[in-house]
Amino acid sequence: MLVNTKLHKLLIKYFLFSLFLTAIIYLYNLVINVQETNYFYCDEVINYQAKFFNNVFNFNYIFSCDEPKYFYILDNPHDLLNGQKNYYQQRPIYISFAIIIKYLIAAVTNIFDIYFPFINQLSFLILQNLILTFQMIFLRFIMQNFNKEIYYNDFFISLIIFFNPMNKWSIFQPGHQNMTTLIFLIGVWIFQKNTYLSKPKLIILGL
């Protein structure tokens, strides 16, 4: 019970760190330094317009060439396992979590009667932050396996994760690149623990 409590607190702490650092990256790359920001060939910065409670405002966000297909499956989840070959089918668990997050957000907006047109973008933004949160946790586990007596600064661990250049754009787009880093960290942790994984667990990890 004590271990679970500590893990829950760690999850909340790292998730809040992730949101804080995401906000800083957003302000720097998409507000302050937007003219000098260079993105991958598939991404570009788009100025969107949103209306909330009769107030109209503009904001910059990333548009990815992968976005339409990912957003389509969020709007049509029944097509996730159809016969068509789409790259998002390579990570069915990843896209399933995005779908769950979208329906949770939609439930909240419906309860409070709020019209929110960027629910797909927000769903993937939350999912990316959750993935980064678990990256931080497994990096901490890996570092502790080297030396359990050393005190590890959790915010510093968060910074290490966010120093990954990929996060410059991956946080704000629907691709599953961050999952690759997470799986790598999980693999290192498993190797350190010398833990045997059963076939069902390996299949889940592969998905």
| 183 C-beta neighbours (distance < 10 Å), count | 15
pLDDT band of residue 2 (cuts 50, 70, 90) is very low
Which pLDDT does position 39 carry in this prediction?
A: 62
Q: Is the per-residue pLDDT at 199 higher than 70?
A: no
Q: What is the mean pLDDT of the chain?
A: 80
Supply the pLDDT for residue 69: 84
- Which letter, b or e, does each residue of 161-175 get, where b requires 16 or more Cβ atoms within 10 Å of its Cβ? bbeeeebbbbbbbbb
- Model confidence pLDDT, tens digit, residues 57-93: 888 888 888 888 888 888 888 877 765 556 556 678 8
Beta-bridge partner residues of 46: 61
C-alpha 76: how far from its chain's center? 21
3-state DSSP assignment of residue 26:
helix
What pLDDT, on the 0 to 100 scale, is given for residue 187?
A: 83
CB atoms within 10 A of CB 151: 4
Q: pLDDT value at position 57?
A: 80
Tokens at 44, concatenated: 């570009």
146-191 pLDDT per residue, tens? 766 556 788 888 998 888 877 767 888 888 888 888 988 888 878 7
Band of residue 97 on the pLDDT scale cut at 50, 70, 90:
very high
Burial of 21-31, coded b for 16+ CB within 10 Å and e otherwise, reads bbeebbeebbe
pLDDT recorded at residue 90: 65
Which residues, in sequence order, are bridge partners of residue 57?
50
pLDDT value for 117: 81
58 beta partners: 49
Q: Write out pLDDT tens, residues 111-153.
A: 877 777 889 999 999 999 999 999 999 998 888 877 665 567 8
Nearby residues of 51 by Cβ (< 8 Å), 6 or more positions away: 115
3-50 pLDDT tens trace: 578 888 889 999 999 999 999 999 988 888 876 666 666 778 888 877
